Chains A and B, each alone.
Chain A
Amino acid sequence: MVPQSEPYPKFQEVKNRTMVDILCFSRNNSVTVELPDKETLVSSCRLQDTLMDLLVVIRVKTPDLEITDIQAEIRRSSEAELPDIHETLKKVIGVRVGPGIKKIVKGLMGKSATEKKLIFMIGECCNGIILSFAKQVLGKAPKDLEGEKKFFANLVKNSPRLYNSCAAFSPESPLMEEVDPP
């Protein structure tokens, strides 16, 4: 049984309040992936929040998806002492974007608060690259019910790890009716 969701305040209730709910923290995290040429992808992550403003840009070469260059800029930070991120970042060059990359990047880099944030942002850049390819595949999904069912069943058959990886691909899902468990 799913608990009843708490309703959002109605307009009148909001209007009647004596004080505004001022934000105590905010964050904007933006990832973009560009294709400057046929063999290169450039993924950038800009993270701005109450404490920090960071930019990470990675350059990846296809088909191996190997990181060939990485740049980062700390525009604003609440940390008193900033580590030399440029030396740390170099360790990531040569690593391939793929399953397990977040663990590899985490293991190669340092543990300061800034470095942890950079590790997270590199992960976001990599995720963006992966999703840019996923977008091409998912864009081919038919709109009709039967076509969609067949499309996603084939997707899972070709990639067994997708099976039971989310609610839509759970064994109970109609999309999985014709898919045998791996």
Chain B
Amino acid sequence: MLTFSRNKIVSIHRKNDHTLRVRGILEDDIYGMEVDVDITLPHLEIVWINGKWTRMENRECPKAIPFLQEALGFRLTEEGFTQKVQKTVGRKSCRHFANILLECCEAAAEAVALPDFAVEKPEEAEPLQKEFPAKKITEKPARETHKEAEKAPTHKRGEITADPLRKKSQKGMIIDLHVHSAEASPCSSAPLDDLIVEAKRIGLDGMCLTDHNHVWSRETINEFQEKHGFLILRGNEITTNQGDMLVFGFEEDIKGIIPLDELRKMVVQVNGFIIAAHPFRGFLTFGIGQLGLTTEKAMARPLFQRVDAIEVLNSKVSEKENLFTSQVAKGLTLPGTGGSDAHEVEEVGIYATRFFDVITCEEDFLKALHQRNYQPLAFRKALKQ
């Protein structure tokens, strides 16, 4: 039996020498929508857009229409065009409008690439391309702040103690194990300096930078540590064929997707540590419960044989999913960790991990991870109480 269908139609005609009129229609079991877009040549710039709902999810959906105008001025050839549409139209308007708009734009890019499609190209015309190179990551803030770092009080490299009082209180050290910075994760809007200031303000003792497939240099991190007098530990969120993994003590710069088996072998060789990140992160409108996933079935997933710990508290998943993950970790007798998965400054420290050993450097941190002497906690919630 058919349980779902979605049909999308895109048609393009040349309105005049300099403009394409693209019409997109999306019809599925839930949504019905239309979008008309004018794209100018040769720069492939969106200069006019109009949308219309025919069927929608709820009575507030019409408010999505005005936000379609956010796409005006976007050029199909610019770097990160798809992400821009998803971030603006997708988030402010509606992700299904973003979906049909992107389908329209991709079709337009293909239309102008047809051999018999004559376009007057001015000298400064940009090359037509369907996919754009990823934004190059530069650890710019470290260079920018170098002079400031010189003025800041100096600390012995690798031995940063953020809050000696906390250690004295024997409450352990509280570290957010999962943080994304704007400098190295395109999906994050949180500059590293601001993250550190906020983490210090709320009383965290340290945080791990786990940017997506990015290895921070020890020198850069030392500069930030010295500047702020705050413990920063280097990690990496590596995407594998079995999902995202937080990896520590492993400095190989992995690009693209790596099979988890392969990653495991490499990490074990350097005595590193792997935490399965948000392993049961569900879907937006339904949870794992609806799929009939039981703890027993979940525990049998092969990925759990290849990790050292499981992230049982993550702010990007629901409380039910966190609870389910905790049950799986308990069943497998794997230690659980907590991390905010912060992509915004105000998210840092929502969840964290309490270590019962003193951690002043990456070596201490790795040792503590392997010794399993820690527990996850809802840090910001605890602050409010």
> In the bound complex, do residue A162 and residue B284 qualify as a contact, i.e. CB atoms below 8 Å apart?
yes
CB of A32 within 8 A of CB of B94, answer: no
A residues less than 8 Å from B281 (CB atoms): 98-100
What residues on A are CB-neighbors of B66 within 8 Å? 2
Evaluate whether A148 and B59 lie within 8 angstroms (CB atoms) in the complex, with A29-B103, A167-B92 already known.
yes
A→B interface (CB under 8 Å):
2-3, 5-6, 21-35, 41, 49-51, 62-65, 91, 94-96, 98-100, 103-104, 106-108, 113, 116, 124, 127-138, 141, 145, 148, 152, 155, 158-162, 164-170, 173-175, 182
B residues sitting closer than 8 Å to A (CB atoms) are 1-15, 20-21, 28-30, 38, 48, 50, 57-61, 63-64, 66-67, 69, 72, 90-95, 99, 103, 107-108, 110-111, 114, 117, 130-131, 239-244, 256-257, 281-288, 290-294, 297, 301, 315-318, 320
- A residues near B282, Cβ cutoff 8 Å: 98-99, 159
Q: Flag if A167 contacts B94 (CB, 8 Å).
A: yes
A6 to B6, CA, bound (A): 28
Q: In the bound complex, do residue A29 and residue B2 qualify as a contact, i.e. CB atoms below 8 Å apart?
A: no
- Which residues of chain B are near A129, meaning CB under 8 Å? 4
Given contacts A63-B293, A129-B4, A133-B290, 12 further A-B contacts (CB under 8 A): A2-B66, A24-B114, A25-B11, A26-B12, A27-B9, A29-B103, A41-B3, A50-B114, A96-B243, A103-B239, A133-B283, A133-B291
Determine chain B's interface SS by DSSP, over half rule.
Answer: mixed
Q: Closest residue of chain B to A22, judged by CB?
A: B13
Closest 9 CB pairs of A and B: A107-B257, A25-B111, A132-B4, A168-B60, A63-B293, A33-B4, A63-B291, A167-B64, A167-B63
Contact (A162, B114) CB under 8 Å given A62-B291, A167-B92: no
Query: Are the CB atoms of A165 and B284 closer together than 8 Å?
Result: yes
Chain A positions within 8 Å of B14 at CB level: 21, 24
Complex Cα distance, B69 from A175, in Å, reads: 23
Closest to A97 in B: B283
In the bound complex, do residue A5 and residue B50 qualify as a contact, i.e. CB atoms below 8 Å apart?
A: yes
Of the candidates B12, B50, B320, the one whose C-beta lies within 8 Å of that of A6 is B50
Chain B residues with CB under 8 A of A3: 69, 72
Which residues in A have their C-beta under 8 angstroms from that of B59? Answer: 145, 148
Is the pair A166, B95 in contact by a Cβ cutoff of 8 Å?
A: yes
**Known contacts A100-B244, A116-B130; A167/B239 CB under 8 A:** no
Contact A134 B283 (CB under 8 A): yes
Tell me whether B239 and A98 are in contact (CB under 8 A): no
Distance (whole angstroms) from the CB of B106 to the closest CB of chain A: 8
**A63→B290 CA distance, assembly (Å):** 9
**Contact at B5–A26, with CB atoms within 8 Å?**
no
Nearest residue, chain B, Cβ from A152: B58
Q: Are A166 and B91 in contact (CB under 8 A)?
A: yes
Identify B288's interface contact among A63, A107, A148, CB under 8 A: A63
